[in-house]
Amino acid sequence: MRLFGLASMVAVLMGSAAAQESWVVFPNQGETTRDQLKQYLVKEGKKHLQERKRAVSALRTPAEAAERQKLVREKILRLMGGLPAEKTPLKTRHVGMEERDGYRYEKIIYESLPGFYVPANVYLPTKGQGPFPAILMPVGHSPEGKEGERTTAIGLARKGFVVLKYDPIGQGERLQYYDPDLRTSKVGGTTQEHSHANGHAVLIGQNVARYRVWDGIRGIDYLLSRPDVDGKRIGVTGCSGGGTLTTYIAAIDTRVQAAAPACYITSWEQLLDKLGPQDGEQSFAHFLSEGLDIADYIELFAPKPYLIASTIGDFFPLEGARQSYEEARAFYKLLGAEGNVGWFIGPGPHGVPRESREAVYSFFQKYLNNGQGDPREENVVLDPLEKILCTTTGQVSDSLGGETVFTLNRKLAAAARGKVTAAALPGEVRRLAGIAVKPGGAAPEVTVHKTVRREGYRAELISMMLEGGAAGVGALLIPDGNGPHPAALLVDARPKEVTAAVGSDADALAREGYLVLVLQPRGTPERPVASYQHIVGDFDLAYSAFIVSKSLPGIRAEDVIRAVDYLVSRRDVKREGLVAAGYGAGGVYVLHAAALDNRIGKVITHQSPAVLRLGVERPIHRHVFEVAVPGMLTKYDLDDLIRAIAPRPVTVVNPVDLLERPIHVSQYKQMVTAPAQVVLRGRRDPLPVGR
């Protein structure tokens, strides 16, 4: 979490030798500690993919294929967080209609959940006699929502299909974090809206995709309620993010009879190498470690007709589409339906060019309309955006109000909140955070890259080789004299020119006689990276961990434990009374480690989050994925870790909320009941370490 800006930089300007020199261990792009950690997580992901490949390759009979479908369906629903238990009334409102050449469209609003409004357009044929086949059409990440890919919807309507296009959350008229004064989102664009909303969900072991899928399932319910729709001829298609939803909805809703996702299907092997985890709803925690891949969605739909639509220049890797297609074709063959899965490659970049649209028309005509109709597309003139809007203001939030993902998740979080016994807590922390390292291992290898002499001690720039071939970096401040010295471990993401500078906490402790290790844990940039400063933070790295059942708090708690292994191995260190202090997100990592490692005699958190349940109790948060453990709030929160650490002392200095705003002592004590000393520390006050 981004903290300590101006105040910390003052220390750098006080004339320290470190401030005059670069204290970066890995300056080259591609070799940073973040790169090393990402490579480690990619390797872990590929191990799981290889295990899955062996399992799928071993399938020999239709019965084995059906058993895998059953297993995959259970896993996908569980990782998504399940679907709502019941279908509530749609309460559909018809708010307008427009007649056009060869089609018309109606403007409606339905409620996928009570008060959760979904603006939608229904495109209808004006020729022929119903009931017609129908297509659910979720859209990609168009900021204007249902405006995206309208040409496809109109083309299908002209060819005799009823088409429902709706605004996904975070798009069009459904911004979840809408600011009526600025008339835009408080958190950014469409992907930021989705990923930020996923921050609420991940803390209780869910994914924002559950709401997006549910909107589509209820859209099918609406289509089936219409007398002009044939409920036995339902298809689904969409591009990009709409291709993602097409893939999910087809896999989950058995009423879908034909599916054609565009510019989404690839493989996780290719994603790991080229793109990494994508939008919040496109990546599920534990997905790879549960033995899943994108091809599983296609295979879950077998033996029903499926068309993968790609483009030659798509950023979703085409080689991954080939891998998924070939595996799915073999799976379909087991069920005697090899001809029911196809792959079309259109020209151009990411999107649905005319050639791809006509391939989709032909596919649905073949499988949902008895092969009838001409797939060639007529020219389309699109209405201006304001014509397709369904609300009076252009936003649900200030025209209808109602629920948001945040308000829905807040209710779910209250119901899901659980506690575990003190005896069971360490096991749950290890399981949920993905912590494999145990205290007492051999000391990690430490390399000294630079040494600077200061009054009373020497400061060494070091790297520490940790699990997976990834290094933590930091500074080691060693007092003059033989010792043994009391030891302090400071876990801090800031540059070492700040954390180890003259005038810093580390400097003050070293002058008091402490041997101090200032650690930047694995994956922490040695220099601030602008792209990670967005409110969502380093989503890519966090989800690279989540998909293999790890987490950044878990990984970095392991680093704390290994750093303790190193410190207690030194002859010049007193093993008793070791102090571990975490700054910002580092406080979360230190609390996790100390709950598992009794060698840490005292814990200090400094400007660290007070509790993570603020992530479900308040709508806006910052960098939550860097401190979140998937599902943690169903078992524990940070104050539970403090209770687990007791009777060892914990001092909470200048606690903050998840927007990094101060929480005063009285607020903190009302918020938590943990046995911690709470201190408000001024700029020049010493770190309350004690002896």
Q: Which residues contact 379 (CB under 8 A, 6 or more apart)?
A: none
Q: What would the pLDDT profile of 39-74 be if each residue is shown by its tens digit?
A: 999 999 999 999 999 999 999 999 999 999 999 999
325 and 431 housed in the same domain:
no
Residue 172 in any domain: the answer is: yes
588 pLDDT more than 60: yes
3-state secondary structure of 248: helix
329 and 432 housed in the same domain:
no
Please tell me the distance from the alpha carbon of residue 275 to that of residue 266, in angstroms, as a whole number.
Answer: 11
Q: What would the pLDDT profile of 428-446 be if each residue is shown by its tens digit?
A: 999 999 999 999 999 999 9
456 pLDDT more than 60: yes
- Report percent pLDDT > 70 for the chain: 97
642 and 613 housed in the same domain:
yes
CB 228 within 8 A of CB 221: no
Please tell me the distance from the alpha carbon of residue 139 to that of residue 628, in angstroms, as a whole number.
Answer: 29
* Cis-peptide into 444, omega within 30 deg: no
Query: Of 251-265, 529-543, 668-682, which range is least confident?
Result: 529-543
Q: Given this model, what pLDDT does residue 16 score?
A: 41
Please tell me the distance from the alpha carbon of residue 52 to that of residue 63, in angstroms, as a whole number.
Answer: 18
Q: Given this model, what pLDDT does residue 15 score?
A: 38
82 and 129 housed in the same domain:
yes
Residue 584 in any domain: the answer is: yes
3-state secondary structure of 177: coil
Alpha helices in 122-281 (DSSP H): 150-158, 190-202, 209-225, 241-252, 268-274
Res. 691 pLDDT band, cuts 50 70 90: low
Q: Given this model, what pLDDT does residue 136 score?
A: 98
> What are the φ and ψ backbone dihedral angles of 178, each rounded to 5 degrees?
-75, 135
Residue 539 amino acid letter = F
Residue 688: alpha-carbon gap to chain centroid: 36
- Residue among 297, 306, 296 at smallest CA distance from 342: 306
* Cis-peptide into 647, omega within 30 deg: yes
Residue 10 amino acid letter = V
CB 525 within 8 A of CB 32: yes
Please tell me the distance from the alpha carbon of residue 539 to that of residue 569, in angstroms, as a whole number.
Answer: 35
Residue 542 in any domain: the answer is: no
539 pLDDT more than 80: yes
213 and 234 housed in the same domain:
yes
Res. 688 pLDDT band, cuts 50 70 90: very high
CB 241 within 8 A of CB 139: yes
What is the value of pTM for the model shown?
0.94
* In the block, residue with structure tokens 């687990």: 644
The predicted model gives 641-660 an average pLDDT of 96
Residue 592 in any domain: the answer is: yes
Q: Given this model, what pLDDT does residue 7 score?
A: 37
Res. 485 pLDDT band, cuts 50 70 90: very high
Domain stop point among 355, 387, 413: 413
Alpha helices in 335-478 (DSSP H): 354-368, 385-388, 396-399, 405-416, 425-433
Q: 500 is in which domain, residue-wise?
A: 5-30+422-535+552-679
506 and 361 housed in the same domain:
no
Higher-confidence position of 530 and 31: 31
Q: What value does the CA radius of gyration of the chain take, rounded to a whole number of Å?
A: 28
Residue 545 in any domain: the answer is: no
* Cis-peptide into 131, omega within 30 deg: yes
Residue 540 in any domain: the answer is: no
Q: What is the separation, in whole angstroms, between the first and last Cα of the chain?
A: 29
20 pLDDT more than 90: no
Residue 659 amino acid letter = L
622 pLDDT more than 90: yes
The predicted model gives 466-480 an average pLDDT of 95
Q: Given this model, what pLDDT does residue 296 score?
A: 98
* In the block, residue with structure tokens 């509790």: 611
115 pLDDT more than 90: yes
The predicted model gives 478-488 an average pLDDT of 94
399 and 426 housed in the same domain:
no
Q: Given this model, what pLDDT does residue 21 score?
A: 58
Res. 1 pLDDT band, cuts 50 70 90: very low
209 and 85 housed in the same domain:
yes
13 and 75 housed in the same domain:
no
361 and 475 housed in the same domain:
no
Residue 51 in any domain: the answer is: no
CB 392 within 8 A of CB 399: yes
* In the block, residue with structure tokens 């896999």: 251
- Residue among 261, 242, 103 at smallest CA distance from 165: 242
Q: Which residues contact 512 (CB under 8 A, 6 or more apart)?
A: none
4 pLDDT more than 80: no
* In the block, residue with structure tokens 């599902």: 631
CB 455 within 8 A of CB 577: no
3-state secondary structure of 349: strand
Q: Which residues contact 647 (CB under 8 A, 6 or more apart)?
A: none
CB 272 within 8 A of CB 295: no
Residue 381 amino acid letter = V
441 and 314 housed in the same domain:
no
- Residue among 389, 410, 411 at smallest CA distance from 400: 389
22-42 in b/e form (b: 16+ CB < 10 A) is ebbbbeeeeebbbbbbbebbb
**Mean pLDDT (the chain, rounded):** 94
Res. 11 pLDDT band, cuts 50 70 90: very low
Phi/psi-derived region of residue 74, left when phi > 0, alpha when psi is between -120 and 50, beta in every other case: alpha
Residue 424: alpha-carbon gap to chain centroid: 27
Please tell me the distance from the alpha carbon of residue 600 to that of residue 651, in angstroms, as a whole number.
Answer: 13
22 and 143 housed in the same domain:
no
Domain stop point among 389, 413, 437: 413
Residue 564 in any domain: the answer is: yes
Q: Given this model, what pLDDT does residue 528 score?
A: 80
Q: Token pair of 181, please? A: 């004064």
Domain stop point among 371, 386, 413: 413
Q: Which residues contact 124 (CB under 8 A, 6 or more apart)?
A: 103, 104, 105, 106, 157, 162, 228
CATH number of the domain encompassing residue 362? 3.40.50.1820
301-336 in b/e form (b: 16+ CB < 10 A) is bbbbbbbbbbbeebebbbebbbbbbebbbbbbbbbe
Q: How many domains does the chain have?
A: 2
